[in-house]
Structure 1
Amino acid sequence: MSGFTLGLTLLGALVLAAVVGWNAWTTRKLAPRQVEMAARDDPADGAAPDPEPREPVFDESEPAPLPVPERKPGLDALIDAIAPIAIDLPVSGEAAQAAMPATRRAGSKPFAIEGLNESSQHWETPQAGRRYTAFQAGVQLANRTGALNEIEYSEFVVKAQAFADAVNGSPEFPEMLHEVARARELDQFAGAHDAQLGFTLLARQAAWSPGFVHQHAARFGFVAGAIPGRMVLPAAHAGHPPMLVLSFDSQAAMAEDPAQSAIREVTLSLDVPQVPRGEQPFLRMRDAAIGLAAGLDGVITDDNGREIRPEALDGVGADLELLYDTLESRDLAAGSPQARRLFG
């Protein structure tokens, strides 16, 4: 082989090696980022790195609040049309349960019947083994499906009357047009003050694997939700909606090999009326967004894909304080039973 031919062969081999190396580097750079390995000691101090990944460590210096079961909120004249049902003699809980309608809705609105407990003198959903001296039926005036309409009100009357007949009671229904007008006014207020915030985190370069997202989100208190691709920051009280929700592509979460799934965006959301102001949900959301953006190497954007600088988030928080004030002035404080029902 001549020197010229040998030179060309070596040059070709070098070019091929460079191309292979470039492809390998590019593939590695663009591959979904995986769960990070944790070290027992700083390798700079001469200690060997930990060969096994470890679960995120949480600060246990303060005990976590114990979940407190919540009493189911009862009918409230603020957001319900209520019909008192008078009875001549006490009715057993068993008889009341047998007379209850098969469904607890009138159209798209929640419908409920409560009895006045003879012993406690508290209104409650009829229960076996108790006696009731009066009843009341109610239908919710508005929710996120809209205002109570005439057809739904008529269905409420039919169901309440059937129950009253079964327990030998006499219902007194409020005037339909008045209640429908109240429902429309309440729906208008709710529509003007229903805030659901959302931030999207976009990957700057390499995509993320589901495990990588879970690892970083867990550092801010998020746990896996019941739905694939969904994590939640639990509320302080059992039975309450989650404080925050983090969601990403459910198909990536259900893939046969999740480690090879590529996620390029995750969404943080806060349903403002559902979470008490005192839990500072927006502050938790802000800190999580900034921290996740740093840890995941992502950028915070709005619904239109425009970048949101961390300092701009403070302005959103100030606007929320005004909304909280407005809800409280209407006796519909964020996170209250009435607000959770109205904005549900």
Structure 2
Amino acid sequence: MSNLQIGLAVAGGLALVGVVGYNTWMSRKNAPRQAAPDALVEPAMDTVEPAFTDAEVHATDMALPTPSKKPALDALIDVIAPLTLDPSAAPVSGEAAIAALPATRRAGTKPFAVEGFNTQTQQWESPANGQRYSSFQAGVQLANRTGALNEIEYSEFVVKAQAFADAVGATPEFPEMLDEVARARELDQFASAHDAQLGFCIRARNASWSPGYVHQNAARLGFVVGVIPGRMVLPAAQEGLPPVLVLSFDSQAALAEDPAQSAIRDISLHLDVAQADRAEHPFERMRDAAFALAEGMDGVVTDDNGQPLALETMEVIASELQTLYNTLEQRDLAAGSAVARRLFS
């Protein structure tokens, strides 16, 4: 072999080594960032996200179920029909009341409920075994995020309430339908005009992220793994309340056979304003979490359209939210209250 041939062979070999090295470097550079081995966040299921007692209500909603011993109906957002028991029939056992309840707790898209006046506690509550009730009341919600109560839904409410009344020996007194439907429309108009849901996006500047890397960084800020793949939540201070914030990313990445190789290029933070108590300072915590995640994960905070968000923009949003909070409180629908969580659901 001539010196020229040897030289070309050596040069070719060096070039091949260079290509392999470059490809290896690029592969490592572009690989999803991984969580530190000594601080892995276990992807265990957490129960901080509330679930409705009514099986028909979607589990992904963020509304809080009302405890069975506390009244759920409120004249502010419900149609309420008194169900007066015949003196000869009162009191009615909780077992009999439960057996008389309809199979579904909805009238169309609106929650339907029956409460009994407990003879021992002298309080309204959902019927419970072992209790006795001297009277009942049935109610249907005037509005929620599906819209206002309409005539068909009101008629379904009447049918269900009448059937329950007949079963327990009670006489119902229904409000005028047209008045209640008009009240529902007014409430729906107010709610629609004051329903705020905010979302920020944190996008990777360079290398993508693995699910474990996202979990690890979010956990440092107090987020815990939720019940849905690709979802983490920041719990409220009071146990049993809806989460303050929701962090989400591609569920397919979370469900992959090898999550470490799943490439996540953006995550989102979501705040449902009406569901979180003002005292929790939810927007401030959302803003701080977004910038902390961006700094820790080499990302940038943007809106849904990919436009970077500056601190000045955040200050404008914060000011507008204070006005919204005040308006809701003036209407007795303070953010995070039981009635607000039900109306904005």
Q: Normalization by structure 1: what TM-score?
A: 0.89
Q: Distance in 2 between matches of 1:226 and 1:70?
A: 20
> Per-residue CA shift, 1:248-279, capped at 9, x if unaligned?
11111111111111111111101110010001
Aligned AA (1:16): L
* 1:234 to partner: Cα distance: 1.2
Matched with 1:317 is 318
Shift of 1:9: 2.5
Aligned with 1:54 (options 25, 28, 39): 39
Following superposition, the deviation at residue 113 of structure 1 comes to 0.6
- Any stretches of 5+ residues in structure 1 without a counterpart? 38-52, 57-68
Q: Distance in 2 between matches of 1:299 and 1:207?
A: 12
8 Å CA contact 2:71–2:124 kept in 1: the answer is no
C-alpha distance in 2 between matches for 1:26 and 1:20: 10
Instruction: Give the structure 2 partner of residue 75 of structure 1.
Output: 73
Structure 2 letter corresponding to 1:157: V
In structure 1, C-alpha distance between the alignment counterparts of 2:111 and 2:124, rounded to whole Å: 17
Q: Give TM-score scaled by structure 2 length.
A: 0.88
Instruction: Determine if contact 2:143/2:184 at 8 Å carries over to the other structure.
Output: yes
2:165 maps to 164
State the distance in 2 between where 1:324 and 1:271 align. 13
Trace 1:6-25 onto structure 2 (pairs within 5 A): 6-25=6-25
Equivalences for residues 202-241 of structure 1 within 5 A:
202-241=203-242
**Structure with the greater relative contact order (CA < 8 A, sep ≥ 6): 1 or 2?**
2
Q: Is contact 1:70–1:237 with CA below 8 Å preserved after alignment?
A: no
Q: Indicate the structure (1 or 2) with the bigger Cα radius of gyration.
A: 1
Check 1:73–1:25 CA distance in 2 against 1; reply closer, same or farther (3 A cut). Answer: farther
Is the CA contact (8 Å cut-off) linking 2:210 and 2:262 kept in structure 1?
A: yes
Aligned residues: 317
* 8 Å contact from structure 1 (residues 91, 132) kept in 2: yes
Answer yes or no: is the 8 Å Cα contact 1:109–1:142 preserved in 2: yes
Q: Which secondary structure does the structure 2 equivalent of 1:133 belong to?
A: strand
Deviation at 1:211?
0.4
Structure 2 unaligned regions, length at least 5: 42-64
> Do residues 265 (structure 1) and 266 (structure 2) align?
yes
**Per the alignment, do residues 310 and 22 of structure 1 end up closer, same or farther by CA in structure 2, a change over 3 Å counting?**
farther
Residues of 2 paired with 1:314 and 1:217: CA distance? 23
Residue 173 (1) aligns with residue 162 (2):
no
Relative to structure 1, the CA distance from residue 93 to residue 73 in structure 2 (aligned partners, 3 Å threshold; closer, same or farther) is closer
Residue 340 of structure 2 corresponds to 339
What's 1:125 paired with? 126
Partner Cα separation in structure 1 for residue 294 and residue 283 of structure 2: 16
Q: How does 1:80-119 map to 2 (within 5 A)?
A: 80-87=78-85, 88=87, 89-119=90-120
Post-superposition offset of 1:73 = 5.0
Identity across the alignment (%): 68
* Bigger mean CA deviation after superposition, 229-238 or 263-272: 229-238
Aligned residue for 2:171, secondary structure, equals: strand
Contact between 2:71 and 2:115, CA under 8 Å: does it hold in 1?
no
